[in-house]
Structure 1
Amino acid sequence: MPDETTPGVALSNRLLIKVTRDSLPQVKDKYPFIYLERGRLEIDDSSVKWIDCEANVVRLPIATLNCLLLGPGTTITHEAVKVIAQSNCNVCWVGEDSLLFYASGQTPTTDTRNMRMQVKLAADSKKSLEVARHMFAKRFPEVNLLGKSLKEMMGMEGYRVRALYEQKGEEYGVGWKGRSFIPGKFELGDITNQVLTASNAALYGILSSAVHSMGYSPHIGFIHSGSPLPFVYDLADLYKEYLCIDLAFSLTLEMAGHYNKHKVSAAFRQRVIEMDLLGKIGQDIDSIFGVKNAHRDSQ
């Protein structure tokens, strides 16, 4: 069920099954996400409704949402999937509390122009390295990266992130013993690591949804490789400092040793909205691909 931070929109708005490209808001104009758990998504009179475990019914404004994060205990009907896909709203399956990212449903787009461009860049070793260099340049604006290999830039990034952890620990008065996560044993991590894991996974869900919606492939990366969603992980590193790392350290003392998923979700969502993440993603992809007028918002 949506927590107390469910967006202030009229949930009674009906969504017609037959939608057009012109009637859908662009990715940058959508609300980032809603997290649901223990309930059922189905169709009623052409609108998508959520029925929670206590039989409460909430109608969801699917056309204005970027993605739905479905937690444990959720079911969804075939018809609901169809309407959600037609509305260019992505569906992601995640875990409880930690919001571990499991899978994402691919949303159809109008053409493959952006994906073709992405594939061409990735297939050319020189162009692929240039794209990676543009990504690192956003984190090292004062450093001349010309001539740097991918391995060298990844080494620089690793050092930067480790230093950032130490810096945030000192800034917020939090002891830091290093990044630690054991799959399936979320509760064994300290509070800082738990918030990092949860916010990282939520960020992956949002980025996966946006990448699909704009007609790119999450599977074709330029820095990461050998992972399920390399391009999503590439992009996530552009935003983790504020959305995940700073958030985790800022909430650690406040939660006083007790992880609160609602507080984490609310704080993360607020930061996503404040930084206009959905508006930045398309612009940043244009920048790293070196294009001026990419077809970003395929609907």
Structure 2
Amino acid sequence: MSNMRLFVKITRESLPQVKDKYPFIFLERGRLEIDDSSLKWLDADGNIIRLPVATLNTILLGPGTSVTHEAIKTAASSNCSICWVGEDSLLFYAAGIQPTASTRNFRRQAILSCNKKNSLEIARRMFNYRFPEVDLSAKSLKEMMGMEGSRVRALYQERAQKYGVGWKGRNFTPGKMELSDTTNKILTSANAALYGIICSSVHAMGYSPHLGFIHSGSPLPFVYDLADLYKEYLCIDLAFALTLEMAGMYNKELVSARFRERVIKFNLLAKISKDIPNLLGVDNVNSDSE
């Protein structure tokens, strides 16, 4: 009789994989609640929008939002992460931790991060993404971080010259975004949105954002490790291209739209779902065996 049932119990295997989901939606000034065991959004103007929660990787809740207990439960059961962010994803405040069927990936990450030799080897793999032609086998973490710093500074200058944008360096004061120039505003906003997406993906795959291999002494070191793999196109190139397009006038709606377009074109979620296992040497992220 089970094959005659109208409603079939959802299993972890039947849910969309991280790589198959829509990256994220940003909500502000409204209420997130449930409607017939699904999610609905009630905005400040009284509009009601039903959300396909099973096909969303993460929901970014901005200023002026509230969420019900049942809505959080529904999102968790659909493997949809919830992140609390600032204006237009400008600041990343917190992320809900989803219950996962297995702690296999978290345990492996913890073991690797606590072993200096293994941790350094994974750091080298991450830097190898950006320096594929360089032999990093004898490089220390400090040396590789120095190489990366020089690469990023040169990248800023190269993009500034390419798009004809004035550049005085990376500058951002937390809580005082208005003091930054247009390019720095876009960089900060795009970086924060990228952190939110990566953090939700890391949680969804059963890893921890708090155990990194390059960064340390920060709230989300593993997220920052991964973000550096993707910032060149998603954040840096975007910032200089948009500065030229906006003629120096910051437009948060345009930043959000262009960033979302690039995330989808770049196929970010598919890359994350492949890159993390490759970097950590995990063959099957869904396996419970050890």
Counterpart of 2:267 in structure 1 is 276
Deviates more, 1:257-266 or 1:123-132: 257-266
Distance across 2 between alignment mates of 1:296 and 1:179: 42
Distance across 2 between alignment mates of 1:208 and 1:168: 27
Distance across 1 between alignment mates of 2:237 and 2:166: 14
Counterpart of 1:71 in structure 2 is 62
What is the aligned residue count?
282
TM-score by length of 1: 0.91
Q: Is the 8 A contact 1:214 1:296 kept in 2?
A: no
Distance across 2 between alignment mates of 1:55 and 1:256: 35
Counterpart of 2:51 in structure 1 is 60
Q: For 1:101-126, what per-residue CA distance to the aligned partner results, in whole angstroms no more than 9, with x for missing partners?
A: 11111111110000111011111100
| Helix, strand or coil at the partner of 1:138 | helix
Distance across 2 between alignment mates of 1:186 and 1:18: 47
* 1:49 pairs with 2:49: no
* 1:94 pairs with 2:88: no
Paired residue for 1:228, among 219, 226, 237? 219
Structure 1 pair 17/164, CA: closer, same or farther in 2 (3 Å)? farther
| Helix, strand or coil at the partner of 1:92 | strand
Paired residue for 1:206, among 197, 202, 208? 197
Counterpart of 1:288 in structure 2 is 279
Counterpart of 2:3 in structure 1 is none
Distance across 2 between alignment mates of 1:25 and 1:234: 25
Query: RMSD in angstroms over aligned alpha carbons?
Result: 1.5
Q: Which amino acid aligns with 2:27?
A: L
Structure 1 pair 270/17, CA: closer, same or farther in 2 (3 Å)? farther
Q: Is the 8 A contact 1:17 1:46 kept in 2?
A: no
Unaligned runs of 5+ in 2: 1-6
Paired residue for 1:153, among 125, 136, 144? 144
TM-score by length of 2: 0.94
Q: Is the 8 A contact 1:98 1:261 kept in 2?
A: no
Counterpart of 2:28 in structure 1 is 37
Q: For 1:17-45, what per-residue CA distance to the aligned partner results, in whole angstroms no more than 9, with x for missing partners?
A: 96321331000000000000000001122
* 1:119 pairs with 2:110: yes
Structure 1 pair 149/17, CA: closer, same or farther in 2 (3 Å)? farther
Structure 1 pair 17/213, CA: closer, same or farther in 2 (3 Å)? farther
Q: For 1:37-80, what per-residue CA distance to the aligned partner results, in whole angstroms no more than 9, with x for missing partners?
A: 00000112222100000110000001000000111000000010
| Helix, strand or coil at the partner of 2:60 | strand
Structure 1 pair 296/104, CA: closer, same or farther in 2 (3 Å)? farther
Counterpart of 1:237 in structure 2 is 228
Q: Is the 8 A contact 1:17 1:83 kept in 2?
A: no
Counterpart of 2:101 in structure 1 is 110
Deviates more, 1:288-297 or 1:95-104: 288-297
Identity rate, percent:
70
